[in-house]
Amino acid sequence: MPRIAGINIPENKQILIALTYVYEIGRSLSVKILKEAGIDPTKKASQLTAHEVSMLKESIEKNYKIEGELRRTTMMNIKRLKDIGSWRGFRHIK
């Protein structure tokens, strides 16, 4: 089972769909990532070679904020809004 960004990707699905299991990667971003890596979107995740998996990881880590990094950034932004007492921050307190 390929592991990308700390998430186990399901082997029985096409890589186009399997990438959407990672937080903040949807179908359109999945297509874009696969084009950058030069991987066929209809290929099953179990058919990926080690080289293709490493190309995917490299492309994702270099160009996109996903999973933990994105969640951390979002939480810090919400905390900042609460600390400065803005209306948007106040609505998160309730």
CA distances for 50 relative to 4, 65, 83, 87, angstroms: 12, 23, 45, 49
What mean pLDDT value characterizes the chain? Answer: 89
Query: Left if phi > 0, otherwise alpha if psi is -120 to 50, otherwise beta: which for 30?
Result: alpha
For the beta carbon of residue 11, count every other beta carbon within 10 angstroms. 13
Query: Domain 1-63 belongs to what architecture?
Result: Orthogonal Bundle (1.10)
Give 71-89 pLDDT, tens digit per residue.
899 999 999 999 999 999 9
pLDDT in the model for residue 68:
82
What contacts 46, CB < 8 A, 6 or more positions away? Answer: 11, 12
Q: What is the pTM for the complete model shown?
A: 0.76
